[in-house]
Amino acid sequence: MSANGPIGRANGLLLVAAGLSFFAGLGATPLIDLDEGAFTAATVEMFVRGDFLSTYLNGEPRYDKPILTYWLQALFAWLFGFNEFALRLPSAFAGLTWTVLAYRFARRLYDVETAVAAALITATTLGTSLITRLAIADALLDTCIAAAVFSQYLWLRSGRSRDLYLAWAAMGLGFLVKGPVAVALPLAALFLHCASQSRWRDFMTYVTRWRAVLLFLAIALPWYVAVTWVKGPEFIESFFFRHNVGRFSGSMGRYHASGLFYYLPVALLATLPYTALFAPLAARLRSLWQDDFARYALILFTLVFVLFSLSANKLPHYLLYGVSALLVLFARHLRAARSTWLLLPPLLLFIGLLFIPEALDAARQGANPYYQTMLVDLDLHFGLAYRVSLICAALAVVVFMIERKLAMSTKLLVTGLMTAYGLSFVFLPALGNVLQQPIKEAGLIGRDINAPLVMHGINTPSFGVYAGKVVQRRLPQAGEVALTQTDRLAELPPHQLLFRSKNIALIMITP
């Protein structure tokens, strides 16, 4: 396919639209607790405390993540203010970078058509679309891992030193984003790939190229040394042993999910609307194993799938650490896509999202009192505009299933764009406003109050972001303003009600 013909220009327009999708609607959804709220509240506290070396949350040290995400959030907040758009910009730029990396990688291996498809799939897959719109560390980590696994494979293929240095630099940045996982996964994938072909010498050359390792250390170590020097061994114990080893083993005493097969449905959902492409890959698994890049992509994905399936601590987005090469493999096989049934998963996605309000309403009946109250206004946010948007998307997919002139690859990629923009402008704003709007309103009120702020009986750190203050979690004292749940008001000292919405109350404790 010519890159200069009508189809090439159309793909170019799709690629521009995919790139812009990372920034579309970034400010339309309130910060979602706990993760977004915790990251961004810690960034606020850096400014309040004047401490940009270490992070605090609710006035207490926060040692579970390294510093780079907070620094980038701080930079954009300094440039554009403390708002949702600015705080999510690091993730959006990470998504754009990941897309460019996928394009450049596929272009070196294959042709322009495959490169454009790889970029579009990377930008519009449901998992990547979601993670790159959240103000947390994982979009940055996914991008660093993608840069590392792409570069080290290119080095293995061509022996170009620049690729080796890029891979180690990417792992260094990833180590500053989330720690050892940014190094362990790329190296493990490379080791297994080399082992499958008895290329031991190549692997040993890769890990012993001392200038590249020094580059990694120069990027990754200075902050760790500095924060350990200031905070002492407590940082090492908390970060490396509690929040890394402990999360995998379950010794932290908390679990985000359980079940050995947890990531099976996650894989099917995260790769929407391209999920059906698993079928032709599975049908050709034996021949794919004989293909060098396909083997590498399958090893990386399987490694992450198995490793985190065995982990005591599971979150859906962990699987995205292993999809960067798999999405390029999807792109390589997209040209051969013909079956109308490849469009069935996105059709089911749009139909499923159409009935999300009913599902949430049914779940509300058995939820705890907090969520029973927070979900009372579903009809307000999941209203006519929400319904019409999803009906139109579903009808568009039905038209694609009937129409016979457009290539199936184009239909899938356009459906991917509909998914990305629907996530940004339809689903996330509706869900975010249902769950978070009262917290945001209370925080904006707290911003103008000249009194200490605390949280009691609730943990919604985004409150501190909107208030622009350090908010401690404890029993409030006289003269302090507290965010709490309405069903906890009776257990508090005499107070004045400042704000109430759903199950959220902002009160001032009277002397």
pTM across the whole model: 0.93
User: Which tens digits make up the pLDDT trace of 147-162?
Assistant: 999 999 999 999 999 9
Exposure letters 85-107 (e unless 16+ CB within 10 A, then b): bbbbbbbbbbbbbbbebbbebbb
Nearest Cα residue to 403 out of 455, 343, 445, 476: 343
In 10 A of CB 83, how many CB atoms?
15
Peptide bond into 269 cis (omega under 30): no
Find tokens 């109308």 and name the residue: 340
- Tens digits of residue pLDDT in 448-494: 999 999 999 999 999 999 999 999 999 999 999 999 999 899 999 99
**324 near 118, Cβ under 8 Å?**
no
Q: Is 155 helix (H, G, I), strand (E, B) or coil?
A: helix
Enumerate the β-bridge partners of residue 508. Answer: 481, 496
- Over residues 120-135, the pLDDT tens digits come to 999 999 999 999 999 9
User: Which helix H or strand E contains 501, and what residues bound it?
Assistant: strand 495-501
How far apart, in Å, are the Cα atoms of 502 and each of 31, 214, 329, 463, 483? 18, 55, 47, 15, 13
Mean pLDDT, rounded, of the chain: 91
User: 260: pLDDT confidence band, cut at 50, 70 and 90?
Assistant: confident
The residues facing 507 across adjacent strands are 482, 497
Res. 381: pLDDT tops 90: yes
* Cα distance between residue 221 and residue 217, in whole Å: 5
Phi, psi of 460 (to 5 degrees): -130, 80
Task: Indicate if the alpha-carbon torsion angle 303, 306, 310, 314 is positive or negative.
Answer: positive
Local confidence band at 367 (pLDDT 50, 70, 90 cut-offs): confident
Q: State the greatest distance between any 2 C-alpha atoms of the chain, in Å, as a whole number.
A: 76
In this structure, the number of other CB atoms found within 10 A of the CB of residue 283 comes to 10
Q: Report DSSP letters for 356-389, one per residue.
A: HHHHHHHHHHHS-HHHHHHTTTHHHHSSHHHHHH
Residue 265: asked if its preceding bond is cis (omega within 30°), the reply is no
Digit-coded pLDDT (tens) for 100-112: 999 999 999 999 9
Helix (H) or strand (E) holding 354: helix 344-354
Report the Cα–Cα distance between both ends of the chain, in Å, rounded: 76
Task: Give yes or no for residue 311 having a pLDDT over 80.
Answer: yes
Which of 344, 322, 326 is closest to 334 using CA atoms? Answer: 326
Tokens 């200038």 correspond to: 211
**Which pLDDT value is given to residue 50?**
94
In the prediction, which pLDDT does 9 show? 59
List Cβ neighbours of 504 (8 Å cut-off, separation of 6 or more): 438, 439, 442, 458, 483, 485, 486
In the chain, % of residues over pLDDT 90: 80
Distance CA 314, CA 439 (A): 27
pLDDT band at 3 (very low <50, low <70, confident <90, very high): very low
110 near 291, Cβ under 8 Å?
no
Write down the pLDDT at residue 2: 43
Which of these, 97, 156, 110, lies nearest to 296 by C-alpha position? 156
pLDDT-based confidence at residue 4 (cuts at 50, 70, 90) = very low
- What was the pLDDT predicted at 164? 97
Cα torsion angle, 296, 302, 306, 308, sign = positive
- For the stretch 261-289, pLDDT in tens is 899 999 999 999 999 999 999 999 999 99
Q: What is the mean pLDDT of residues 79-108?
A: 96
pLDDT at 131: 97
Residue 437 has pLDDT above 80, yes or no: yes
Please say if the pLDDT value at position 253 is more than 60.
no
Q: Which residues contact 320 (CB under 8 A, 6 or more apart)?
A: 127, 128, 131, 138, 142, 270
| Other residues' Cβ atoms within 10 Å of the Cβ of residue 362 | 11
